[in-house]
Amino acid sequence: MVEDKPKQILQNMLNDRESDPTHLLQTLIEVQQAFRYIPHDAIDRLAESLGLGRAFILGVIEFYSFLHLEPRGEYDILLSDNATDQMQGSRLLAELLARQLDVGIGGTRGDYRVSLGYTSCTGMGDQGPAALVNGRAVTRLTSERIDRMVSLIEQAIPLDQWPAELFAVTAGVVRRDIILNSDYSAGAAIRRGLEHGPEALLDLLEQSGLRGCGGAGFSTGKKWRFCAGAEAAEHYVVCNADEGEPGTFKDRYLLQAHADRLFEGMTLCAAVIGARRGFLYLRGEYRYLLETLHKTLQQRRERNLLGHSILGRAGFDFDIEIHLGAGAYICGEESALIESLEGKRGIPRNRPPFPVIQGYRGMPTVVNNVETLANAAMIAQHGPAWFRSVGTAQSPGTKLLSISGDCERPGIYEFPFGTPIGEILAACQAHHTQAVQIGGAAGRLIPPTEFGRTLAFEDLATGGSFMVFNQGRELLKAIDNFTRFFSHESCGFCTPCRVGTAMLVRQLGKVMVGHATTKDLDELATLGTLMRQTSHCGLGLTAANPVLDGLEKFPGIFQARLCSTSFEPSFDLDASLQEARALTGRTDPGAHLEGGGV
Amino acid sequence: MVNKVRIATASLAGCFGCHMSLLDIDERLIELVAQIEFDRTPLTDIKQIGSCDVGLIEGGVCNAENVEVLKAFRRHCNILVAVGACAINGGVPAMRNQYSLAECLEEAYLSGSGIDNPQIPSDPELPLLLNQVHPVHDVVWIDYFLPGCPPSADTLFTFLGELLSGQPIQFAYRQIRYD
């Protein structure tokens, strides 16, 4: 299928790179972009030039949702399928799109003009329903916007000539606190770091009490200190911008509006740990930010904030590369992210050793969230006392929240740690709230009786996702959505997660269609608990949270759907004979089954 | 003489391999028979199940008759055990689940090679096929799952022995490893 011209493109791509196997994933993403799939020729050439096996390369292609072995349409449309998108009517819009374009959901049209499918949350919860068209984010979908897209597609208008408003991503900051209100001056943090030396900077960070903003809350100062103390030929700093937790989009805003702060934080970290290379691992869904991020990096190079002898300090050489993800939630886990950076499938590593000791290429590596690194830069500039002026003793400072769902003002909110959930709900003007999902699909489901609890690592920790459900919502649908999400995103490495997430979907499905009894709820709880006890990484450990929290805090939504018998079949017995009845034309009594359980 | 424990067995969509494995306990059958008696099972050829203590089910659920038999077992057995891979997961018969029923029947009876007088059988004597093959726990509550393809004779013997003695059921590692 690869004709001469594409062959040449492929050759140029390969020539541009050294023959380094860690380039595999980035090259595959480029090939996918250029050809709309990964041709077999490309696999052969990559195998040869990178010295990798075909099976290894196929394994990588099949791991990432955005890489394909079969050609996708010229317009590859993926609709974001998070619970909040669905609440905004995304499923109906998908059907509308499918009808108008005459393509099945999950399929490619015969003329290869268009492909249509669903994808995990694209990080546009405050401006959904959202979609990706050839990787570019389209926001605020309505039936009117769908009509426009269909007409552009049928006229074969190239994507870069589509009206810019379709791609508009607004910042949407509603509440600012010390971080977003304070001024940032480029280079100030690095200068301070260079003046006082790494030790003083580590002290300063530890005094500030800054903790990892990805959700786990590990002390940033400690992490950097461990890494700086690990003897090795190279050290690396990696920014985790794989913001995949459903309902989170605060890093999108930081990358869009404050990338400079983030790069300052990475450079500061490099100065402390002695890194010469840094990586920004950007989730594929945010590739629309790539151009401006590259521009920001270039500006920093021109101002000597990156590159050789940064700010005139001889020997302080550091630069940042941007790596793209390709649609894999698990790559937000730091060790899976490092595997992905190395060009491989994103399978979480055994820990320990932790990345600060053995990370990228086996070298000590700091992996921090976008917000953490940006905060580190601000702390170095304004001092630890400034940061500690808000928040709690154990959770100093503020947290950026991505608020979506049933509230009048969704968007980005900066709240001091220690703020009660009720106050946050009032601020975003949520009414008649039934529940809040804090910390994304992997987080916790909070009922109104717990709205007095606070946003803090010692109470309710969150990576930033805050999804609101009002009393009109069927909460079980959201739980089902999250459970399916994990089943789709499980990396498949360990059995408790690979099999457990699939069984959880089936078992919950039995509840959804009204075939379950109390015994099935016991099974759900047993299964969820087993997954928590035995999974390899955080994904499997938290995948049952929505179900287990639901069972504990909202038992009524499950019980309302139960049968009164002791056990019911998981499917409709008589309906299951319908196809055979049609094929044989039988209507005798033996061609029917009584429903119900025993 | 104490009342013997009454056991029924059935093979649904299975290959009878699990039943063969049960027979493979060899002379220990004699030991077992001192404690148990059989109700409906292919071994006795009793067709209707009566009240039982234990029911052993081999095979998944592929047709209407399987559903009826399985439900009858659940009604009559205090303890129902899913024996072997097909009962637990659908096993080999469930490989047809990736095709529609129509595709399966067309291949077998209409368009496959070497077919004389092609027609899809519709005699009322024949049980109708379900759209999909299901594990037994999709249809009735199952008390114990005994994995293996088939579970080894030793595993079956250990299971029955411990069940009869009222002990918690535990297996030696070699009895539940499958590689």
DSSP symbol at A52: -
A235 plus A250 within the same structural domain = yes
Contact B70, B57 (CB under 8 A): yes
**A570 within domain boundaries:** no
Q: Which two tokens stand for residue B92?
A: 């080999």
Partner B contacted by A587 (CB < 8 A): no
State the angle between helix axes of A188-208 and A220-229 in degrees (0 to 180), rounded to the nearest 10: 110
Interchain pair A597, B129: CB under 8 A: no
In the prediction, which pLDDT does A1 show? 42
Contact A568, A511 (CB under 8 A): no
The Cα–Cα gap between A335 and A533 comes to 20
In A, residues 418-447, which contact B (CB 8 Å cutoff)?
A: none
Q: What is the ipTM of this complex?
A: 0.80
What are the residues of chain B with a beta carbon less than 8 Å away from any beta carbon of chain A? 64, 67-68, 71, 74-75, 100-102, 105, 120-122, 124, 127-132, 134, 138-141
State the angle between helix axes of A250-257 and A259-273 in degrees (0 to 180), rounded to the nearest 10: 90
A160 plus A179 within the same structural domain = no
A162-189 pLDDT, tens digit each = 999 999 999 899 999 999 999 999 999 9
Query: Measured between CA atoms, how close is A564 to chain B, in angstroms?
Result: 14
Interchain pair A590, B140: CB under 8 A: no
Residue with tokens 């399966």: B104
A455 plus A494 within the same structural domain = no
In the prediction, which pLDDT does A13 show? 72
Q: Which residues of A touch B49 (CB under 8 A)?
A: none
Q: Compute the Cα dihedral for A390, A392, A397, A398 and give only its sign.
A: negative
Contact A385, A259 (CB under 8 A): no
> Which CATH number belongs to the domain containing residue A153 in this structure?
3.40.30.10
> Which CATH number belongs to the domain containing residue A299 in this structure?
3.40.50.11540
Contact A262, A374 (CB under 8 A): yes
> Which of B73, B77, B105, B130 would best serve as a mutation to test chain A binding (most A beta carbons within 10 A)?
B130
Residues B40/B41/B43/B46 CA torsion (nearest 10 deg): 30
A315-335 pLDDT, tens digit each = 999 999 999 999 999 999 999
* CA distances from residue A593 to A267, A442, B120 in whole angstroms, order as listed: 69, 41, 21
Mean pLDDT by 10-residue block, N- to C-terminus, for chain A (598 residues)? 59 73 93 93 90 96 96 96 95 96 95 96 94 95 95 95 94 95 96 94 97 92 97 97 96 97 98 97 96 97 96 96 96 96 96 95 97 98 97 96 97 97 97 96 96 96 95 96 97 95 96 91 95 95 96 94 84 93 92 84
Other Cβ atoms closer than 10 A to A472? 9
A316 plus A379 within the same structural domain = yes
**A408 within domain boundaries:** yes
A315 plus A347 within the same structural domain = yes
Residue (of B34, B13, B10) closest to B22 by Cα position: B10
* ω into A163 cis (within 30 of 0): no
A520-570 pLDDT, tens digit each = 999 999 999 999 999 999 999 999 999 999 999 999 999 999 987 778 888
Q: Which two tokens stand for residue A17?
A: 């790179």
In the prediction, which pLDDT does A442 show? 94
Residues A378/A311/A279/A297 CA torsion (nearest 10 deg): 90
* ω into A348 cis (within 30 of 0): no
In the prediction, which pLDDT does A5 show? 60
Q: Which residues of A touch B94 (CB under 8 A)?
A: none
**A581 within domain boundaries:** no
Q: Compute the Cα dihedral for A150, A156, A162, A167 and give only its sign.
A: positive
Interchain pair B67, A573: CB under 8 A: yes
Residue with tokens 């003329």: A111
According to CATH, what is the number of the domain B5-95+131-171? 3.40.50.700
By percentage, how much of chain B surpasses pLDDT 70? 99
Q: Which residues of A touch B145 (CB under 8 A)?
A: none
The Cα–Cα gap between B108 and A564 comes to 41
Distance, C-alpha A35 to centroid of its chain: 25
**A185 within domain boundaries:** yes
A347 plus A465 within the same structural domain = no
Q: How confident is the model at residue B33 (pLDDT cuts 50, 70, 90)?
A: confident
A460 plus A502 within the same structural domain = no
- φ, ψ dihedrals at B121, nearest 5°: -60, 135
A294 plus A158 within the same structural domain = no
> Which of B104, B128, B133 would best serve as a mutation to test chain A binding (most A beta carbons within 10 A)?
B128
**A568 within domain boundaries:** no
Q: For A598, which of B64, B71, B131 is closest by C-beta distance?
A: B71
The long-range contacts involving A445-452, CB below 8 angstroms and separated by at least 24 positions, are A445/A475, A445/A479, A445/A545, A445/A546, A445/A549, A445/A550, A445/A553, A445/A554, A446/A421, A446/A553, A447/A553, A447/A554, A450/A421, A450/A553, A451/A420, A451/A421, A451/A422, A451/A425, A452/A420, A452/A421, A452/A422
Q: For A591, which of B101, B128, B130 is closest by C-beta distance?
A: B128
- State which of A341, A359, A388 marks the end of a domain: A388
Domain that holds residue A467: 398-471
The Cα–Cα gap between A83 and A120 comes to 10
A187 plus A90 within the same structural domain = no
**A268 within domain boundaries:** yes
Q: Domains of chain B: which residue ranges?
A: 5-95+131-171
Residue with tokens 């500006």: A299
What is the average pLDDT value for chain B, to the nearest integer?
93
A210 plus A343 within the same structural domain = yes
* CA distances from residue A136 to A277, A423, B38 in whole angstroms, order as listed: 28, 35, 67
The pTM (predicted TM-score) of the whole model is: 0.86
In the prediction, which pLDDT does A6 show? 61
Interchain pair B64, A590: CB under 8 A: yes
In the prediction, which pLDDT does B2 show? 62
Angle at A17 between CA A11 and CA A18, to 5 degrees: 120
The Cα–Cα gap between B88 and B163 comes to 19
Overall domain count for chain A: 5
Residue with tokens 């052969």: A44
Q: For A598, which of B64, B75, B127 is closest by C-beta distance?
A: B75
- Return the beta strands (E) in A86-235 as ranges: 107-108, 114-119, 131-133, 136-138, 173-175
Interchain pair A591, B64: CB under 8 A: yes
Q: Which residues of B touch A579 (CB under 8 A)?
A: 100-102, 131
> Which CATH number belongs to the domain containing residue A507 in this structure?
1.20.1440.230
In the prediction, which pLDDT does A2 show? 43
Contact B62, A588 (CB under 8 A): no
- State which of A13, A38, A63 marks the end of a domain: A63
* ω into A129 cis (within 30 of 0): yes
Q: Which residues of A touch B67 (CB under 8 A)?
A: 573, 593
A248 plus A348 within the same structural domain = yes
A301 plus A209 within the same structural domain = yes
Interchain pair A566, B141: CB under 8 A: yes
> Which CATH number belongs to the domain containing residue A418 in this structure?
3.10.20.600
* CA distances from residue A200 to A193, A276, A383 in whole angstroms, order as listed: 8, 20, 12
